[in-house]
């Protein structure tokens, strides 16, 4: 169990102030460059959620560094037209890193269904489902979905094109070998082309 409390800038409201145009921006401090380097490029900082492989309350305060980055994925449109929510597609090697399951590398074609417990910055828990399938090209891929993912997408307004980055949490590995991750997402700029149409009354 992770018992070490590590401070996160985004969790401390006193470290944030109103910027121009009504947007929030972090005050100048030693952690600013860690969490805003990507923001200054094409993505705007949005939120943090906490990811782990076991059922527990999850760490409430997280501090991580750029070198703790494990994988980054871009949320994509669903391949199935009947699926309303965007999805995450992982290569089986990325799934092995995420779940800390080396057997995925040894027997990649074995059918798997894995549950991941995710916590957002408010401590809300989301049960995300991870399962594998074979594409038309014969490749093994994993998709993140299920009711928990759909609820997470709705709560945080995740859209195709947003970037999700997994960070390994230092000193937060459980005794049974499960590795915890912090999952940050960067929202793709909402241009007039991809904003929903305004309603007229």
How confident is the model over 142-153, as pLDDT tens digits? 998 889 889 988
Report how many domains make up the chain: 1
Which pLDDT value is given to residue 194? 53
For residue 85, the enclosing domain spans 9-187
Q: Is residue 1 part of a domain?
A: no
Please give the backbone phi and psi of residue 116, each rounded to the nearest 5 degrees, phi first.
-120, 130
- The pLDDT tens digits of the residues spanning 77-88 come to 887 776 778 889
Residue % of the chain over a pLDDT of 70 = 48
Q: Is residue 199 part of a domain?
A: no
> Which residue matches tokens 């007229």?
200
Q: Is residue 84 part of a domain?
A: yes
Which pLDDT value is given to residue 51? 45
Read off the pTM. Answer: 0.58
Q: 3-state DSSP call for residue 84?
A: coil
* DSSP E strand stretches across the chain: 16-18, 24-26, 44-52, 69-74, 88-91, 113-120, 125-134, 140-145, 163-168, 181-187
């Amino acid at each position: 169990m992770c018992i070490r409390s590590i401070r996160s800038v985004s969790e401390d409201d006193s470290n944030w102030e109103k910027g121009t145009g009504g947007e929030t921006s972090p005050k100048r401090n030693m952690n600013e460059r860690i969490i805003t380097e990507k923001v200054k490029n094409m993505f705007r900082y949005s939120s943090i959620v906490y990811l782990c492989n076991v059922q527990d309350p999850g760490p409430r305060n997280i501090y991580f560094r750029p070198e703790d980055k494990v994988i980054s994925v871009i949320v994509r449109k669903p391949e199935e037209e009947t699926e309303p929510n965007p999805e995450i597609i992982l290569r089986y090697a990325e799934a092995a890193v995420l779940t800390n399951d080396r057997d995925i590398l040894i027997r990649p074609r074995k059918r798997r269904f894995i549950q991941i417990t995710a916590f957002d910055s408010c401590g809300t828990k989301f049960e995300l489902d991870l399962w594998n399938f074979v594409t038309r090209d014969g490749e093994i891929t994993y998709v993140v979905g299920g009711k928990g993912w759909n609820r997470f997408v709705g709560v945080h307004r995740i859209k195709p094109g947003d970037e999700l980055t997994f960070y390994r949490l230092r000193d937060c590995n459980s005794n049974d070998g499960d590795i915890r991750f912090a999952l940050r997402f960067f929202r793709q700029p909402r241009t007039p082309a991809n904003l929903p149409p305004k309603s007229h009354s």
